[in-house]
A and B are shown apart, each in its own frame.
Chain A
Amino acid sequence: MSTPIRVEGLTKRFGSFEAVRDVSFMAASGSITALLGPSGSGKSTVLRMIAGLERPTAGRIWLGEEELTAKSVQERAVGFVFQHYALFRHMSVAENVAFGLRVRKEERASRDARVAELLDLVQMTKFARRYPDQLSGGQRQRVALARALAPRPQVLLLDEPFGALDAKVRQDLRRWLDELHRELGVTSLLVTHDQEEALELANQVVVMHEGRVEQAGSPAEVYEQPATAFVAGFVGSANVLHGWVVDGHVHLGTFRVPGADHLEEGAAAAAFVRPHDVRISREETGVRGTIERIATLGWLARLSITLPGGETLVAHVPHEELDGAAEGDEIWADLRSPKAFGIEPAPVEPPGAVASDGAIPSGAPPM
């Protein structure tokens, strides 16, 4: 029952505002594809266009071999899960799940059997007669998922499904959704601003920014080989160091990092270095800096290192590699696997700023 989804040149304008610009990607049959981006990046609009809730200004949508672009919402047979559940508040849990079958005039007996099967699947059988306002957020979202799955949709569209839940419930539901997906194998599109959620759940991540696709690839590709400066800064946390290109390197005042061969000589550039790619040493390697602060993140230590130019560098180092280093010590920092990107002459962020920090990968990015 799973089918691939393909969108091509999808564009949506609201008046003069272009919410989605020329978006194309393909979600493989039976996979989970995450549309990841900050709020306002157009990811929800893409999802709503696939569902038929918004009409695209331009572009086409396919479900397998069948083109959906001109079809009505009802004809598309997609399952949609809303951020705020959108349960029918005047119907019981069982009635909510049965709704999609009822409007299709499915027979009573098979409808009841399907409802029972789904309630069991989402572990809500004993709440069948409850009403939505008598359930917790996590329970409501499970009912919403059962309701969306009841008419056996070919694809499942999830719009920030865990966005309204607190961190603990969000983690549980994420794991549970992962298992459920393995069991059902329905092609799923997940819209989220939470990179951790996208990296953990998805087979493919489509990173969106200002209505455009920045990069589409496996979670590892997006994380290890970011295609643009935006992806490097948004997915995972990174130190952003601003400089200019000299001889295939990014010059950063008193030191330089490699990896800028693809950039034009003399151009302004930013080097992105993951906190776990910073190694510290007492030997002379890389750049000299002062440890400003050491905080512990469980098995890792987070070091804030001040560089000669005054920038702060964040490093995540296993405790055993600290080698007795303490706050105030002068050490050498080796910046490995830097990713260099050409930038506009005016820096996007102040030099030396850290895009985001905390554990890897960090939680929700700043709004």
Chain B
Amino acid sequence: MQPATPGGDQPQEQSAAAGQIQPKRGMSLVLPPWPDARSLSVHETPPPVEQDTLKQPGVRQSDQMPIYAQGQPAAYSPGLVPGQFSPPVSSPAQGMFQGPVGPQAFVPPQNPIAPVGPRPATGALPGGPGFPGMNQVPANVGSAFVGLNTNMVSEPPNIFNPHRPPVVSGAAGGGSGDRGGRGRGDGPPRPSARKKHKKKRRVPIWSRVVIGVLLLLIVALGSGYWYYEANYAHALSSIVGQQVQLAPGEQNPNAGRTGDILSGPRINILLLGSDTDEKFDGTYIAQTDIVLTIDPASSTVGMLSIPRDFYLNVPGAGMHKLDEAYGLGGVDLSRRTIEDDFGIPINYYAWIGLDGFIKVINEVGGVDVDVLHPIVDDDYPDDVGSNANDPYAVKRLYLAPGPQHLDGPTALEYVRSRHADLVGDFGRSVRQQQVLSALKTKLSNPDIFNKLSAIANDMTGYLKTDMQLPDILKLMNFARSLDVNKINKLVLGPPYSSSGTAPAGGGDAGASVVFPDCAKIIPAISQMLDLGSSAVCNIQGDTGSNNGVASTASQTTTPLSDAVSSSQSNNTSLSTTVSNASATLGSGSSDLYGVSDLLDLLLMGVFESPDALQL
């Protein structure tokens, strides 16, 4: 039975002079002559190696035939019924490796079948680039193979031979050949070709395998690079490597450091957090200031939380609350304030805006949260959507209590409301922890992979650091090994400070502020950050009354849980939330890439900061 020939798909009989390939119907491309077309021998049952011995000048693929033949000789034995195997041309990716290719071509072993009939239609294959592009495979290639005819099957040499000019000597419709239209008898056989080819094999099999693997790697890496560039490069470039200018005369804390971020001495990272709701002067403030200190040698981590209302000297700006340093001079001034006032060198910084997390919440379809109590607020900033440019717009809030699904905007309302409970920022901090913990749960879902690109873009503008991507990857890996119970946490609340009112004459006169107790702070930070005599408490503007005071007092760091319990004992909601939020830190093997642990670390620093617990 002769399968029907797909119209226009089968190569047409070529009665022209040898070496001229008839373009396929509809194709305008004129193929170059096939130099060795008539040299093909016809074998009823040729051993695979014979295919390998065929020589075609300029066509190196002949050497590859033994790979296929040895690998699957039975699959190509003559007499196969059409349909017993499928020509691997169902996808362009497969098809692009088939047929004659140029001198630099490589035919990968995963394409053992090289149907030759339809291939000339591509036109670009003989003598073309090593990897004819996908687009070079005509749309009707697939259909051409659907109609795989018995002629092809009964010609094992041709099926195996990717170098054979497909329609050089005949076609399905009959032709000049002596085999009922196969057109194989145009040229005389060349018995000596096999021996010649054996002697002139240029590239050994192993090397071609290596080349193939390398090419595959190149393709894979190229695809990966393209995907990265298309989906992540822009977002990441706006997040990482955001350097800040050093002030004139300011020493580079990273001068002399070599190698990766964890290969040198202790590093201090300033974590700044802004919930971006105090932007009435057009600038953010940093409600949270945390110094994350890491000693790579001992693999220990400490977190120094400095109250946002610390009343201290902001270099060049006089006495202000610490949170205003960010608004007055951005990261640079925040960093210099910490460095100058406490003698803590800051190697890197990371700034996180809460709005970014809210965008992410929208991206993942919302979060499910147990709203702790009815949320009422008549003075909530209505600064999203159409009112984004109106810092004075307000709206009213009422959120019912209890477990429920919150979309991004509602989640934002839940965590930003400042008037919803008596405990002010303390209550808000608890709510933030709830939502961020729920977000982490969402992000741990494998389905999130498809949204990573969008999430990265959501974080643009809301997450910045001067660390580079390799540094962050190092920290991710480091975070996996952290034991949360061994993280030292020092909160410079009472007894390291006391509340009061800012005096007249300075910034924030009359405002509620927190006064540092230098005598207690200096020994504590000296030990925690290995500052030695570098620890200072230069908080009094130009007076510098405490400058240079140092101490070797014993460690007085306070665990977060203790700090919380001292000020908010027996608060079920708080303890529950803190517990939930930090439960996964150091989860180790369950967090393969350490992403979650790093997120935990950042969140602990920025949003679970006990300094936000001040009433």
A and B: partners?
Answer: no
| Interfacial residues, chain B to chain A (CB-CB below 8 A) | none
